[in-house]
Structure 1
Amino acid sequence: MKRAVAYFRVSTDRQGKSGLGLEAQHEAVHLFAQHQGYQVTAEFTEIESGKKNERPELMAALLLCKKEKAMLIIAKLDRLGRNVAFIANLMESKVEFLAVDNPHANPLMVHLLAAFAEHERKQISTRTKEALQAAKRRGVLLGKHGREIESKKNSKAADQFAETMQPIINELKADGFITVRGISDELNRRGVKTFRNDGEQWHRTTVHRLLKRLYLGNISRIQSQPTA
């Protein structure tokens, strides 16, 4: 049976400690290796930021692949990084690799994906800087103090939005929509606008935040009522 080395990566220390993301990668790689006729002889796990090129675990995996003439197997192409220079170094190692989500990927495709990802990251950085400069020209306070003020404004607006949503939520629950998923699906079906009102649809997370805000608001009103 052909040899393979598995490489797993998560982007935060928290994910590494909790196992979030790693378990899915582990299962995907081992099922893929078995299907392709590979035996995974070693595993390397990296807990890194996607922007960093220093990946000792990946380098160790590549060295072992070269020593044992093994195939490097990863779960997703983006686990190999989003930096063109980093991808180029990987290609120079001449280690063959397979990605579970794209087993037919070749070096040219990997270069292109990395180039597009790096371009998008730079565009996001540029747009963020331009937005901050525009906000500063409008007199918006930036920095910690400014964030605190904006946070309070956003929180107050979210509270007001939640109050307007209370009758709608009560109606949905009366109609039998009591789960978070059921409420989000019905809100989308009825075309109810979200808090940001920018075409965004309702999701379970946004509904959960809304219900939590309504619950906390109701508790606060009860506590503020004068006692007899």
Structure 2
Amino acid sequence: MKKAVAYYRVSTKRQLKDWPGHDPETMEKEVTGLGLEAQQMAVERFAVAQGYDIAAEYTEVESGRKNKRPQLLTALTQCRKERATLIIAKLDRLGRNVAFISNLMESKVEFKAVDNPHASRVMLHMLAAFAEHEAEQIGTRTKEALAAAKRRGIVLGKNGRVLGKKNKIAADQFAEIMRPIIDGLKAEGFITIRSIRDELNSRNVPTYRNNGQKWHIPNVFALLKRIY
């Protein structure tokens, strides 16, 4: 039987709370990234169907520092040592992470993606190019939109709040600036507040305060409420 190493990715430690005894009904799952339980089931079914014996499983708990992938590096090391294939549940989500792509390509380890079993290294190159281009485009569009808002006379205070009576106007203006960005993320499949938050932070999209603050669930919720 062929050897394989499974690699899973979850966005928050809360997705791992009390695993495996935690009630699936209340466990937090990120729809676009697949919850841990769903990833495990998908990989196990794929391994059985394709004749793989899963020798080890590694789970990456991502935070805002997405370039740190210690579990991936450990998984790749074991794959090289045992000449095993790396199996992941969902390529399209991981494929937007440049760090994941570069580590996988440089390792020269064979891999299989359950949601795209025919994915090749050429596809990885394309995904890497797309991820880099999209990040640059979002950053450029956001800067241009903020500059245009300032030209229209929107004055931001020290904490990003509009002075005096212009506060509500500025917040509404910022929501309109963010509307095409949020619409674009939803079109890519990021439909939960948590996944939108993660993508805004990973693509370095500035918040309303525009002082280096990260996106959090409350300010993403407030933004979506203004937009929709």
TM-score with structure 2 setting the length: 0.60
Shift in Å, 1:13: 3.7
Q: Which residue of 2 aligns with 1:4?
A: 4
- CA–CA distance in structure 2, aligned partners of residues 116 and 153 of structure 1: 31
RCO higher in structure (CA 8 A, sep ≥6)? 2
Q: Which residue of 2 aligns with 1:29?
A: 43
Q: Which residue of 2 aligns with 1:72?
A: 86
Residues 124-176 of structure 1 show CA distances to partners (whole Å, capped at 9, x for unaligned) of 1111111111111112233432399238975xxxxxxxxxxxxxxxxxxxxxx
TM-score with structure 1 setting the length: 0.60
Does residue 1:104 correspond to 2:118, yes or no? Answer: yes
- CA–CA distance in structure 1, aligned partners of residues 15 and 152 of structure 2: 39
Structure 1: 5+ residue stretches without partners: 155-197, 206-228
Name which of 112, 129, 140 aligns with 2:154: 140
Any idea what SS the aligned residue of 1:101 has? coil
Residue 131 to residue 137, structure 1, CA distance change in 2 (3 Å): same
Structure of higher CA gyration radius: 1
Aligned residues: 157
Structure 2 counterparts to residues 55-70 of structure 1, below 5 A: 55-70=69-84
Contact 2:7–2:86 at 8 Å: present in 1 too?
yes
RMSD of equivalent CA atoms:
3.0
Residue 6 to residue 86, structure 1, CA distance change in 2 (3 Å): closer
- CA–CA distance in structure 1, aligned partners of residues 15 and 149 of structure 2: 34
Contact 2:9–2:62 at 8 Å: present in 1 too?
yes
Residue 80 to residue 63, structure 1, CA distance change in 2 (3 Å): farther
AA in 2 matched with 1:146: V
Shift in Å, 1:121: 1.4
Shift in Å, 1:122: 1.1
Q: Identity of paired residues, percent?
A: 66
Q: Which residue of 1 aligns with 2:168?
A: 150
- CA–CA distance in structure 1, aligned partners of residues 134 and 65 of structure 2: 13
Structure 2 counterparts to residues 126-205 of structure 1, below 5 A: 126-142=140-156, 143-146=159-162, 149-150=167-168
Shift in Å, 1:41: 1.6
Q: Select between 5-14 and 102-111 the one with higher mean Cα deviation.
A: 5-14
- CA–CA distance in structure 2, aligned partners of residues 50 and 24 of structure 1: 23
Shift in Å, 1:106: 0.7
* Higher percent of residues as helix: 1
Any idea what SS the aligned residue of 1:45 has? strand
